[in-house]
A and B are shown apart, each in its own frame.
Chain A
């Protein structure tokens, strides 16, 4: 398949949203190696989807951060003792 065909087939959008079948994903990944412009197109599509996702950001409850930082500090302390 040519680059143009890949782009117009809709496979990039399926791939980026995670809906591509295993066979489709493999085909696209193989083509990416051969055509760098295809890789660029996929990355650009991915960035757009990520922008859409970022628009829906919501601040999490603040307690989560404290808890996480404590867990990470404990883990690090344990590793250093060993």
Chain B
């Protein structure tokens, strides 16, 4: 599923221009937004759902929500990308739950999606693959799982405590340590 993105023009919009264009219902801006952000958002949906069809449906729903609800976006509450990521996570997690995935399925998904870590990576940023391998190599499995279960699967602290069989307090300290490790690794990229 790896394909080079075809960007229609070389023109780059600033975030403010993007927001303005979307609010003005500019379809060209919408196309640009899609070209630039769909790989990241599709990656999120795919990690959450572990199913290409469901991830594709989610992506479509997400971009329609962005188009229809752009007036609800509040710049003071965070960047556009953060807002879009939240819509994606919420939409995908809702879909995951509506599919009545069993609780255990969540754990299995995280364990099984190793192929997502190694293959099928977008080529739209040439450093991606190298950067990700570098990060994943140094982040141990437990640290990766704790970040993925919380961020991608929407697990609560209690659920993670059950899944990893560790006390609730340990979930907090481990999440913090995992994030510190991740952040330090990202700095070296």
Question: A residues touching B (Cβ–Cβ < 8 Å)?
Answer: 9-11, 13-14, 16-19, 21, 43, 45-46, 48-62, 64-65, 67-69, 71-73, 75-76
Contacts and interface: CB of A to CB of B under 8 A. Distances in A.
B181 to A, nearest CB: 11
A48 B47 CA distance: 18
Contacts, number: 143
B166 interface: no
Contact of A52 (B173, B176, B186): B186
Contact of A59 (B1, B60, B64): B1
B1 A61 contact: yes
A19 B1 contact: no
Given A53-B43, A57-B121, A64-B59, A69 B30 contact: yes
Nearest to A49: B151
Contacts of A18: 89, 150-151, 154
B27 interface: yes
Interface of B: 1-5, 25, 27, 30-31, 34-35, 38-40, 42-44, 46-47, 52, 55-56, 59-60, 63-64, 67, 78, 81-82, 85, 89, 116-117, 120-125, 128, 131-132, 135, 147, 150-151, 154-157, 160, 171-173, 175-176, 178-180, 182-183, 186
A69 B27 contact: yes
Contact of A61 (B47, B56, B116, B135): B56
Nearest to A46: B82
Given A13-B176, A13-B179, A59 B82 contact: no
Nearest to B67: A72
A9 B176 CA distance: 8
A36 to B, nearest CB: 13
Given A19-B175, A53-B43, 16 more contacts: A10-B176, A13-B178, A13-B179, A14-B150, A16-B179, A17-B147, A19-B150, A46-B78, A51-B186, A54-B125, A57-B124, A57-B128, A58-B43, A60-B1, A60-B39, A72-B27
